[in-house]
Amino acid sequence: MTTPVQDPARVARRRREHERQAVVYGVLVALLLLVGLAALAVYSGAIEAPFARGFTSTETPEDAVTPPCLPAVEGQPDGALPLAYSEVHLRILNASNLTGIARAYETVLSGRGFAVDSVGNYTSVLTYNELRFGGQGIVAAYTLAAQFPEMRMVLDAREDATIDLLVGKKYEKPLNEDYVTIAADTPLTNAPGCKPAENLTPRPAPTPTAPAPEEEQPAPEG
């Protein structure tokens, strides 16, 4: 029985096809390994995914606000001086989901001499603390804002000098008194990015819910 003689050209062609297939499969396997490693790195937080989007939240974040600048004060060419704490009248409204936090703020601020006229609850939950005040209360608001590391300052349409402190769920505690940098004889400093009050559109003043005393609960000390 004779063995068929294979065509050398056909053998060479098959060998080349096998080589090409081996290269293609090798590239595909390498790509799959790279994709898998990248996915693992993103999942573990080692690298940030391109075009990453956060999960959609049902909460509406507060929009950016422009604080009003301090008003010019006749007889004080260097700028407005802070008020005595007893002259700053404020209402503290709980805008968080933490029971008792507004009462904790009342304890700290009234202990420093601020005039806390009332404590209540706000109609919705805010993320961050806010001070809301009218044009007559700008100096008082700056005096109170100095007690905190950060504060959103929102001009509203009220006509008196009272202030509302809205305590958000990601609240900032009042600074330790040793770190409060204002002094009675040193002019206050304008907030970064401020604009003159007359160039801002005041917002409506906040309305608390129907009076309902907060439950007392341990909260951070100031």
**Half-sphere exposure of residue 184: CA atoms within 13 angstroms, side-chain side:** 4
d(CA 150, CA 139): 17
* Whether pLDDT at 213 is above 70: no
Q: Give the pLDDT score at 76.
A: 82
Lowest mean per-residue pLDDT among 84-93, 165-174, 187-196, 203-212:
203-212
Say what the alpha-carbon torsion angle 9, 14, 19, 20 is, to the nearest 10 degrees.
100
Q: Give the pLDDT score at 10.
A: 67
* Whether pLDDT at 219 is above 60: no
Highest mean pLDDT among 7-16, 19-28, 171-180, 203-212: 171-180
What's the whole-model pTM score?
0.67
Tens-place pLDDT, residues 64-79: 899 999 999 888 888 8
Tens-place pLDDT, residues 92-102: 999 998 999 99
Q: Give the pLDDT score at 1.
A: 55
Tens-place pLDDT, residues 139-156: 999 999 999 999 999 999
Q: What are the φ and ψ backbone dihedral angles of 212, each rounded to 5 degrees?
A: -155, 105
Please choose, from the candidates 146, 131, 129, 136, the residue with its C-alpha nearest in 3D space to the C-alpha of residue 85.
146
Mean pLDDT of 80-95: 97
Choice between 117 and 43, residue whose per-residue pLDDT is larger: 117
* Whether pLDDT at 222 is above 50: no
Tens-place pLDDT, residues 33-69: 777 666 655 445 455 444 333 333 334 456 789 999 9
